[in-house]
Amino acid sequence: MRPVVSFGIGLLFGIGLIVSGMSNPAKVLNFLDLAAIPAGTWDASLALVMIGAVSVGLLGFGLVLGWQKPLLAERFWLPSARGIDRRILIGPAIFGIGWGLAGFCPGPALVGLGAGSSAALVFIGTMILGMGAARRL
């Protein structure tokens, strides 16, 4: 049952990325281009997508974390570390730089790869190389 539910959740997520435009690097880069605000060419639509996603996430976590255990696992796997360290600051900064340069983050890149995007293929390849380099460092 767990693989079926996982597939369904992944499929729903991928469809959401396509419908919202998050799998379109040009749309993402237009959203990230804050210098376009004065010219009136900034695309704010992804801000609404993010507000919706964060809202659903907060409600979902608030509901589920009140349960004794998850539906499809024996226990919750939550991080034990509570502090903010160098890795927590550097990792998201690298993620944001990559997102701003390429217009992709991992989820939308996988959707783009499935759609045959050569840019997504290059992104996924360099992402895998970066992950390997990070493990070695």
6-58 pLDDT, tens per residue?
999 999 988 998 998 888 999 999 999 999 999 988 999 999 999 999 999 99
Residues 77-108 have pLDDT tens digits of: 888 888 899 988 998 998 889 888 888 989 89
CA distance 125 to 54: 29
Burial class (CB in 10 A: 0-12, 13-18, 19+), 43: middle
pLDDT band at 137 (very low <50, low <70, confident <90, very high): confident
Q: Contact at 8 Å (CB) between 27 and 21?
A: yes
pLDDT score, position 93 = 92
Kindly tell me if the per-residue pLDDT of 132 is higher than 90.
yes
What one-character-per-residue DSSP string does 30-53 give? HHH-GGGTTTT---THHHHHHHHH
Q: What are phi and psi of 48, to 5 degrees?
A: -65, -35
